[in-house]
């Protein structure tokens, strides 16, 4: 595969002078009619240029979604903003798929291959922040785009439109799709779309994520299970009649104590974290209701299922010992992300073709101030570079892209949308994502997505290799069973 990329890129550099003429050639139908020779030329330079020409349009789309900052399953206006762009570009848009009002699938073209891009657009609660390099919430406690999903959705839409334009101008067969996937942050929107069979005819998925470097090395993430454990007790006056009460909060506390002790006796790659989402209403009332929202993660799905069974047992033990009752509702259940090196190497080659960017003077000034608040400071010039390809890298995080990646060959890469060294889910990520730095990285992503998609349309043999790799990685006996079971999308999980 790397051999193939190498020879292609050598071919590209030999055709430097032809490439300069390509923008004019590509969109001129009479020239295309001359025959297949034109199609053999590399169209990616023209596509990259076409996306750059639309920088203002996509920048304002991202700014709008950043300002809306809508949380999972409540992204009505953000999804409408993206859908409008796609409808205007001639896509057929199906909205509200898989019982999620804010989801959509936008399609253009017909036949195979079917190349899919992913758009996320949900914000995170409590991380409101102005686009300034010091901590300054726009509205205290309100949501903010701390994972850069406004850029994520916009870059993917920009790429989908550019690929569609290329399908038209080159008269190529095939379908480009954009999947609008709500509630990535804990709502698992993609899982319901996979479960509904919406990816069944997709040949390859290209995705990306905002970050603080340009890097196409594939990540393998942790499978993740999350649930709300609800304890029910008996209310009573906490001073006058405590003997008649049974505290649901005691149930929660007993459970967290057992789970904390369990940490020593689970494999070291395990992650368990929780918050108490309801702990009672007043100190002088024995709480008759309390709720614990807990996640557990592990790289291997069967191992995670075992750990999860022990956590559920801990909840039952806690209820038994405190005279309360407990039930739980599964909220989150995502697979680990399965790397696909065939696709990731192709994306890496295209990311290198696009290249990084140098910050403007204003961006450097912004970044110099912001980085003083970062624990991990990296050189600002690194946005201009593309990180060396390092093969699959384990990352202790989770994404619902995981479920897609076990069903369709999937590549996901990152670009520098934030000041180098910025962690996701931070106010610093919201700040940079709300100004031109975020747009710079977003444009790199859009161009890389579009160039990679076109490369796949032009070379179906790469898709076949990617599918063979998927089969080999998941093993012959693999059957996809969603970790969420048959539950409906938790449309109210942020309410
Ligand atoms: Zn996130
Ligand atoms: Zn994210």
pLDDT in tens, 343-372: 999 999 999 999 999 999 999 999 999 999
Once rounded to an integer, what is the mean pLDDT over residues 384-401?
A: 95
How high is the pLDDT of residue 5?
Answer: 31
Ligand 1 centroid to residue 147 C-alpha, Å: 5
**Residue-wise over 307-323: b if at least 16 C-beta within 10 A, else e?**
bbeebeebbeebbeebe
Ligand 2 centroid to residue 86 C-alpha, Å: 22
Once rounded to an integer, what is the mean pLDDT over residues 126-146?
A: 98
Once rounded to an integer, what is the mean pLDDT over residues 115-129?
A: 98
Once rounded to an integer, what is the mean pLDDT over residues 418-443?
A: 98
Partners of 412 in beta bridges: 207
Is residue 40 scored above 60 in pLDDT? Answer: no
Ligand 1 centroid to residue 425 C-alpha, Å: 6
Ligand 2 centroid to residue 203 C-alpha, Å: 24
Is residue 1 scored above 70 in pLDDT? Answer: no
Please enumerate in sequence order all residues whose Cβ is within 8 A of that of 446, keeping only pairs 6 or more positions apart, or say none: 51, 58, 154, 155, 156, 158, 159, 162
* Omega within 30 of 0 (cis) for the link into 83: no
Once rounded to an integer, what is the mean pLDDT over residues 61-74?
A: 98
Between these two residues, 236 and 32, which has the higher pLDDT value? 236
Ligand 2 centroid to residue 19 C-alpha, Å: 36
Q: What percent of the chain has pLDDT over 70?
A: 92
Angle, alpha carbons 434-439-445 (nearest 5°): 130
Ligand 2 centroid to residue 296 C-alpha, Å: 18
Ligand 2 centroid to residue 480 C-alpha, Å: 24
Ligand 1 centroid to residue 221 C-alpha, Å: 13
Ligand 2 centroid to residue 137 C-alpha, Å: 20
Once rounded to an integer, what is the mean pLDDT over residues 57-62?
A: 98
Asked whether the beta carbons of 490 and 432 are under 8 A apart, the reply is no
SS3 439: helix
Ligand 2 centroid to residue 231 C-alpha, Å: 31
Residue positions counted in the chain: 495
How high is the pLDDT of residue 372?
Answer: 97
Q: Which ligand is nearest to the CA of 119?
A: 2
SS3 89: coil
Ligand 1 centroid to residue 5 C-alpha, Å: 32
Cα separation, 459 vs 327, whole angstroms = 52
Asked whether the beta carbons of 484 and 423 are under 8 A apart, the reply is no
Please enumerate in sequence order all residues whose Cβ is within 8 A of that of 247, keeping only pairs 6 or more positions apart, or say none: 233, 280, 286, 287, 290, 322, 324
Burial class (CB in 10 A: 0-12, 13-18, 19+), 241: exposed
How high is the pLDDT of residue 4?
Answer: 32
How high is the pLDDT of residue 17?
Answer: 34
Ligand 2 centroid to residue 190 C-alpha, Å: 13
* Residue (of 33, 62, 28) closest to 46 by Cα position: 28
How high is the pLDDT of residue 495?
Answer: 87
User: Please, which pLDDT band fits residue 179 given cuts at 50, 70 and 90?
Assistant: very high
pTM of the model: 0.88
CA dist 481 → 256, 337, 379, 403, 489 (Å): 29, 15, 43, 9, 16
Q: Which of 2-6, 161-165, 257-261, 331-335 has the lowest mean pLDDT?
A: 2-6
Please enumerate in sequence order all residues whose Cβ is within 8 A of that of 373, keeping only pairs 6 or more positions apart, or say none: 134, 135, 428
Q: Which ligand is nearest to the CA of 149?
A: 2
Quick one: CA dihedral 234, 238, 239, 243, positive or negative? positive
Burial class (CB in 10 A: 0-12, 13-18, 19+), 488: exposed
Once rounded to an integer, what is the mean pLDDT over residues 53-57?
A: 98
Cα separation, 73 vs 102, whole angstroms = 6
Q: Which of 17-31, 62-76, 197-211, 458-472 has the lowest mean pLDDT?
A: 17-31
Quick one: CA dihedral 224, 122, 179, 410, positive or negative? negative
Mean pLDDT of the chain: 92
User: Please, which pLDDT band fits residue 37 given cuts at 50, 70 and 90?
Assistant: very low
Structure tokens at 101: 């009002």
Q: Which ligand is nearest to the CA of 152?
A: 2
How high is the pLDDT of residue 108?
Answer: 98
Once rounded to an integer, what is the mean pLDDT over residues 446-461?
A: 97
CA dist 196 → 100, 396, 486 (Å): 11, 28, 11
Asked whether the beta carbons of 248 and 280 are under 8 A apart, the reply is yes
Is residue 19 scored above 60 in pLDDT? Answer: no
Structure tokens at 466: 């990617």
Ligand 2 centroid to residue 441 C-alpha, Å: 15
Is residue 35 scored above 80 in pLDDT? Answer: no
């Amino acid at each position: 595969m790397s051999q193939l990329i190498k020879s292609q890129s050598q071919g590209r550099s030999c055709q430097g002078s032809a490439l300069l003429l390509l923008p004019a050639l590509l969109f001129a139908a009479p020239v295309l009619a001359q025959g297949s020779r034109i199609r053999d030329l590399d169209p990616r330079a023209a596509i990259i240029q076409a996306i750059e020409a639309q920088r203002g349009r996509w920048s304002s789309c991202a700014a709008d979604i950043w300002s809306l900052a809508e949380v999972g399953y409540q992204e009505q206006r953000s999804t409408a903003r993206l859908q409008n762009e796609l409808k205007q570009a001639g896509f057929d848009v199906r909205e509200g798929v898989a019982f999620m009002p804010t989801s959509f699938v936008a399609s253009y073209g017909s036949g195979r291959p079917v190349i899919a891009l992913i758009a996320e657009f949900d914000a995170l609660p409590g991380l409101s922040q102005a686009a300034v390099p010091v901590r300054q919430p726009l509205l205290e406690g309100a949501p903010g785009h701390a994972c850069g999903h406004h850029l994520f959705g916009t870059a993917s839409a920009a790429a989908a439109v550019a690929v569609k334009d290329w399908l038209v101008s080159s008269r190529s067969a095939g379908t480009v799709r954009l999947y609008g996937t709500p509630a990535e942050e804990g709502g698992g929107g993609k899982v319901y779309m996979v479960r509904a069979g919406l990816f069944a005819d997709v040949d390859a998925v290209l995705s990306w994520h905002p970050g603080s470097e340009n890097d196409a090395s594939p990540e393998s993430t942790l499978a993740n299970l999350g649930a709300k454990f609800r304890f029910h007790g008996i209310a009573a006056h906490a001073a006058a009649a405590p003997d008649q009460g049974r505290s649901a909060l005691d149930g929660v506390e007993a459970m967290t104590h057992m789970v904390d002790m369990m940490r020593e006796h689970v494999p070291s790659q395990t992650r368990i974290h929780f918050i108490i989402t309801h702990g009672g209403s007043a100190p002088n009332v024995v709480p008759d209701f309390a709720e614990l929202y807990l996640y557990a993660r592990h790289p291997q799905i069967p191992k995670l299922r075992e750990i999860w069974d022990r956590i559920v047992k801990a909840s039952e033990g806690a209820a038994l010992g405190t005279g309360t009752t407990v039930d739980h509702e599964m909220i989150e259940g995502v697979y680990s992300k399965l790397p696909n090196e065939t696709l990731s190497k192709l994306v890496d080659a295209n990311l290198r073709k696009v290249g990084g960017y140098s910050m403007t003077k204003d961006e450097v000034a912004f970044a110099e101030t912001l980085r003083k608040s970062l624990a991990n400071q990296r050189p600002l010039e690194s946005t201009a570079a593309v990180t060396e390809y390092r093969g699959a890298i384990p990352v202790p995080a989770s994404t619902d892209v995981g479920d897609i990646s076990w069903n369709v060959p999937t590549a996901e890469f990152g670009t520098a949308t934030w000041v180098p060294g910025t962690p996701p889910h931070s106010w610093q990520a919201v700040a940079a994502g709300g100004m031109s730095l975020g747009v710079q990285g977003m444009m790199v992503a859009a161009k890389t997505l579009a160039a990679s998609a076109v490369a796949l349309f032009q070379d179906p043999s790469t898709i076949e290799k990617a599918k063979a790799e998927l089969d080999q990685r998941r093993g012959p006996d693999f059957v996809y069973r969603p970790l969420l079971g048959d539950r409906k999308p938790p449309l109210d999980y942020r309410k």
